[in-house]
């Protein structure tokens, strides 16, 4: 395992980190690792995966994507 030292953490940020760690019943170190992991992996979804999830959600919610005529009308109305 690697080690990392973080210097000059603002006091307010440190207090919030300690509070969140306590709420999650983790050590500050474990909370930092979890937060970094969650943050750094959050944006790693490919465009294809994102679109597949969006289409699945639309189907589940019975929402249809607007067609070209609807989009043109919305643009004309200043909505897009």
Residue 30: domain span: 7-44
pLDDT digits (tens, 9 = 90+) for 34-58: 999 988 887 677 889 889 998 899 8
pTM above 0.85, yes or no: no
Q: Is residue 35 part of a domain?
A: yes
**Which pLDDT belongs to residue 76?**
92
Average pLDDT, the chain: 90
Closest Cα to residue 33, out of 15, 46, 21, 19? 21
Q: For 22-34, what is the mean pLDDT?
A: 96
Same domain, 77 and 58: yes
Measured in residues, the chain has a length of 80
The confidence band for 80, taking pLDDT boundaries of 50, 70 and 90, is low
Per-residue pLDDT, averaged over 26-38, amounts to 94
Quick one: 30 and 60 in the same domain? no
In a domain, 1, yes or no: no
């Amino acid at each position: 395992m690697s080690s990392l030292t973080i210097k000059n953490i603002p006091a307010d940020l440190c207090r919030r980190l300690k509070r969140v760690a306590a709420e999650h019943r983790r050590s500050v170190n474990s909370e930092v690792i979890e937060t970094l992991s969650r943050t750094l992996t959050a944006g790693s979804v490919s465009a294809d995966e994102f679109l597949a999830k969006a289409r699945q959600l639309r189907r589940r919610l019975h929402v249809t994507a607007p067609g070209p005529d609807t989009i043109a009308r919305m643009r004309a109305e200043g909505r897009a």
